[in-house]
Amino acid sequence: MMTIALQGAEFFAYHGFYPEEQKLGCRFLVDVEVDFSPKHDFSDDNINNTVDYEKVYNIACEEMKHPRKLIETVAEAIIEKIVEKYPFVRSIRVAVKKLNPPLIGKIACSSVTINYQPAK
């Protein structure tokens, strides 16, 4: 089994339950880990034999552009798109962190993590 990962991909987006969050926007960090069994060995040095982390980043980037009330919905959408592109994945872990959420006290971030494994 192999894992590709993106750690701390930063985005400015308009996710949030409250209307002012969707109007003002906020900074987010996204972490993605994808576990898979390679279809081929890597002796031919071919990117098509792996999960391309640039494509995974582009998926996250595209999903962050669609405002949603819940960061859970964002994480699920990222997972769905990765599974569509790479149906051979064994598991996916996506964490979406909202930096400096609008709370009374000082909070570094709020976050949600979703773990996905295909049904057997």
From first to last of its 120 residues, what are the pLDDT tens digits of the chain? Answer: 899 999 999 999 999 998 888 999 999 999 999 999 887 777 778 788 889 999 999 999 999 999 999 999 999 999 999 999 999 999 999 999 999 888 889 999 999 999 999 887
Pair of tokens at residue 115: 């773990």
Whether 98 is a known active-site residue: answer yes
Mean pLDDT score of the chain = 93
Global model pTM greater than 0.75: yes
Half-sphere exposure of 106 (CA within 13 A, CB side): 0
Residue-range domain boundaries for the chain: 2-116
Q: Which CATH class is domain 2-116?
A: alpha beta
What are the C-alpha distances in Å from 22 to residues 8, 26, 44, 110?
A: 22, 9, 46, 16
- Tell me the pLDDT tens digit for each residue of 101-113: 888 899 999 999 9
Of 65, 98, 106, 120, which is the active-site residue? 98
